[in-house]
């Protein structure tokens, strides 16, 4: 009579231990695209009149799997800016002025991949959100010295895209993005000497509408 009891006790003691949770899946990414500005840098001041009108951003991503198909991590972006002739108080239209611009973006993002969808093509749609800080600078060079306008502020972004698996660890595909920003502070330098720094008066919102190609490498 003791044998069934002992067998049951041994079975209970020898239940396999639960497997250890897997470490987060790490990935590095890169994006190249184009983004156009919309809205105002300050109330009543269009973006193209006071800062860069568009940019070609190069972005680097670093993410880790945090839950099911949800990745979270950081991003940094440098944008090669295009400057409208009306920028720097209209001086960029002058023949003696040579204007250029750039933008930086830094922040955190979360991306969810919809791997469970039954699609007729081998593609994985994804969508995400980002929160970070942005800096934009326009510089105009002239014989009397360089003049610059620099602005910075918070941005909230939404993004979506699709990825094709081109190898076991590499995926590429297109993306679309929409960022809502608000410049908080800035600095203006005139002819390389007179400088003014402070908060933006009459703060308002502007947008960046972007599209491009994104790649991700699983580590």
Distances (CA, A) of 44 to 11, 73, 96, 105, 183: 76, 36, 28, 24, 14
Which residues on neighbouring strands pair with residue 158, listed in sequence order?
129, 178
> pLDDT (tens digit, 9 = 90+) per residue, 22-61?
656 899 999 999 999 999 999 999 999 989 999 999 999 9
Q: Which two tokens stand for residue 172?
A: 């590429």
Q: What is the pLDDT of residue 4?
A: 54
Q: What is the pLDDT of residue 190?
A: 84
Contacts of 109 (CB under 8 A, 6+ apart): 61, 63, 72, 73, 74, 75, 128, 129, 130, 131, 132, 157, 159
Q: Which two tokens stand for residue 125?
A: 């749609």
pTM: 0.86
Q: What is the pLDDT of residue 97?
A: 85
219 residues of the chain, pLDDT tens digit each: 455 544 554 444 454 545 545 656 899 999 999 999 999 999 999 999 989 999 999 999 999 999 999 999 999 999 999 999 988 888 888 888 899 999 999 999 999 999 888 788 889 999 999 999 999 999 998 888 888 999 999 999 999 999 999 998 999 999 999 999 999 999 988 876 767 889 998 999 999 999 999 999 999
Q: What is the pLDDT of residue 13?
A: 46
Q: What is the pLDDT of residue 11?
A: 47
Q: What is the pLDDT of residue 121?
A: 80
């Amino acid at each position: 009579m003791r044998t069934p009891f002992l067998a049951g006790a041994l079975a209970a003691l020898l239940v396999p231990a639960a497997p250890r949770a897997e470490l987060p899946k790490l990935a590095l990414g890169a994006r190249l695209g184009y983004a156009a500005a919309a809205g105002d840098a300050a109330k009543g001041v269009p973006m193209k009149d006071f800062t860069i009108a568009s940019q070609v951003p190069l972005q680097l991503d670093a993410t880790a799997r945090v839950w099911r198909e949800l990745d979270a991590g950081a991003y940094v972006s440098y944008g090669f800016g295009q400057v409208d002739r009306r920028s720097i108080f209209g001086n960029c239209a002058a023949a003696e002025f040579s204007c250029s611009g750039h933008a930086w973006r830094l922040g955190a993002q979360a991306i969810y991949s919809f791997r469970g969808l039954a699609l007729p093509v081998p593609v994985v749609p994804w969508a995400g959100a980002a929160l970070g800080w942005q800096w934009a600078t326009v510089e105009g060079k002239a014989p009397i010295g360089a003049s610059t306008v620099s602005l910075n502020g918070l941005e909230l972004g939404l993004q979506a895209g699709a990825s094709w698996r081109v190898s076991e660890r590499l995926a590429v595909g297109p993306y679309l993005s929409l960022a809502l920003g608000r410049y908080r502070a800035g600095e203006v330098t005139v002819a390389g000497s007179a400088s003014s720094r402070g908060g933006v008066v009459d703060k308002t919102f502007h947008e960046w509408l972007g599209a491009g190609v994104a790649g991700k490498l699983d580590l």
